[in-house]
Amino acid sequence: MDPLSDEKIVDSWGKNAAPWIAAIREEQVESRKLCTNQAIVEAVLSCAPRTVLDLGCGEGWLSRALTAHGLQVTGIDVVPALVEEAQRTGGGPFLVLSYEDLADGKWEDTVDAIVCNFSLLGKESVEGLVQAASKLLNPQGRFIVQTPHPVWACGDLPYRDGWRKGSWAGFGGDFTDPAPWYFRTLASWIHLFLTNDFHLRDLREPIHPEHEKPASVIFIAERREDASQSL
Ligand SMILES: C[S@@+](CC[C@H](N)C(=O)[O-])C[C@H]1O[C@@H](n2cnc3c(N)ncnc32)[C@H](O)[C@@H]1O
């Protein structure tokens, strides 16, 4: 398997389901606890959707948080162990499907909003999903994406799109075989939405309360009126 590929991302998340569930339960990721969890919940609520698709939902914390606000949420993830944990914990429904499955039309419903919280990690899988996303949305539907802020996440490497090796730095000891990820500049993210049936409605930069740098970026894109609805 190519170590820098969409296939490797899925393989790695499959191997790390158990430590990931523990990390979320124990709030091991400080930036999530202090900043980004609240930011994504507020971003979704600001769009006032009735129905939401939580894509790459992991063990389901965001689906549960949005359900608690009265929204009707469906969670989808490619890793069966994460979906089983989400089902066990409540909220949902939760389904095992990949972004490739969604792009292939295997989920036939439509929703008012799609949310992806740190779950758009790959190259072709993400491009295919964004291309298909408008067909999963009702008119004026929103596509809400939180991802590491490119200016910060770039580190010392050149600021240009490309595959990066993964790392579990900052996590507990049980993680193994980190997933690679595909780095996109801020301009590339925006281009991805604008070339796939979306307007960009808002761009938020949640600030970490301690170091006062952006902890992430949140894109709120709106389905264009002229977006095709045929699958
Ligand atoms: C960093 S976790 C985020 C989980 C969750 N959104 C959260 O906020 O805790 C990334 C998630 O994306 C999922 N994922 C990655 N590639 C995927 C794909 N091609 N199809 C479906 N899910 C995918 C992984 O299984 C994992 O649960």
Q: How far apart are the first and last CA of the chain?
A: 31
**pLDDT of 209:** 94
Residue 196 CB coordination number (10 Å): 19
Nearest ligand 1 atom, CA 14: 25
Hey, which of 5, 8, 11, 13 would you mutate to test ligand 1's pocket, going by the most ligand atoms within 8 Å of its Cβ?
13
Per-residue pLDDT of the chain (231 residues; tens, 9 = 90+): 999 999 999 999 999 999 999 999 999 999 999 999 999 999 999 999 999 999 999 999 999 999 999 999 999 999 999 999 999 998 889 999 999 999 999 999 999 999 999 999 999 999 999 999 999 999 999 999 999 999 999 999 999 999 999 999 888 779 999 999 999 999 999 999 999 999 999 999 999 999 999 999 999 999 998 876 544
CA of 43 to the centre of ligand 1 (A): 19
CA of 9 to the centre of ligand 1 (A): 9
Residue numbers of the domain that contains 218: 30-157+185-223
Quick check: is 169 in a domain?
Answer: no
Instruction: Yes or no: say if 198 and 45 are a contact pair by the CB < 8 Å rule.
Output: no
Please provide residue 77's backbone torsions phi and psi, each rounded to the nearest 5 degrees.
-150, 155
Quick check: is 122 in a domain?
Answer: yes
Quick check: is 164 in a domain?
Answer: no
- Residue 9 CB–ligand 1 contact under 6 Å: yes
- Residue 58 CB–ligand 1 contact under 6 Å: yes
Distance CA 113, CA 201 (A): 13
pTM score > 0.85 for this model?
A: yes
- Residue 145 CB–ligand 1 contact under 6 Å: no
Distance CA 197, CA 225 (A): 8
CA of 119 to the centre of ligand 1 (A): 4
Instruction: Yes or no: say if 147 and 120 are a contact pair by the CB < 8 Å rule.
Output: yes
Domains identified in the chain, total number: 1
**pLDDT of 229:** 53
Distance CA 32, CA 26 (A): 11
Quick check: is 10 in a domain?
Answer: no
**How many CA atoms lie within 13 Å of 72's alpha carbon, on the beta-carbon side?**
6
CATH code for the domain in which residue 190 is found = 3.40.50.150
Quick check: is 11 in a domain?
Answer: no
- Residue 99 CB–ligand 1 contact under 6 Å: yes
Tokens read off for 45: 């609520």
Quick check: is 61 in a domain?
Answer: yes
Quick check: is 146 in a domain?
Answer: yes
Quick check: is 59 in a domain?
Answer: yes
CA of 63 to the centre of ligand 1 (A): 13
Distance CA 214, CA 145 (A): 15
CA of 196 to the centre of ligand 1 (A): 21
Would you report the helix, strand and coil content of the chain in percent, each value rounded to 5?
A: 35, 25, 40
**pLDDT of 139:** 94
Distance CA 172, CA 210 (A): 21
